[in-house]
Amino acid sequence: MYRYFKQFGSAIQFMHENGFAHNDIKLNNVLIFKNTGDEKRSYCKITDFGLSGVSYLKGIGVIKKHNYCGTKYYMSPGKPK
């Protein structure tokens, strides 16, 4: 299980280092592939980049979004101010 969590964290880090935000991380969007013959070949993937977007641009900095996006039941309550 540690292997999958490490791969998941590395994938998120890679996206953020390259200026992208997924905006819809949830269990339904993480796929785990288990290779029963060789455990070292098992891996996880992050899917569904439909709501992803640019979150950082060199020279400009962090880009703030002013709208809600994501799956309704996984979002925090309240409205942005």
- Per-residue pLDDT at 70: 65
Residue 24 known to be catalytic: yes
Cβ-based neighbour number of residue 21 at 10 Å:
19
Global model pTM greater than 0.75: no
**Which DSSP letter does residue 5 get?**
H
- Per-residue pLDDT at 65: 65
- Per-residue pLDDT at 79: 60
The Cα–Cα gap between 28 and 35 comes to 20
> 44-48, long-range: CB within 8 Å, 24+ apart, which pairs?
44/4, 44/7, 44/8, 44/11, 45/11, 46/8, 46/11, 46/12, 46/22, 48/24
Displacement of CA 20 from its chain's centroid (Å): 9
The domain defined by 2-74 folds into: Transferase(Phosphotransferase); domain 1 (1.10.510)
How confident is the model over 13-62, as pLDDT tens digits?
A: 988 888 888 878 888 889 998 877 777 788 899 988 877 777 767 677 67
- Per-residue pLDDT at 10: 93
Which of 11, 22, 23, 24 does the annotation list as catalytic?
A: 24
Whether 64 has a pLDDT exceeding 60, the answer reads yes
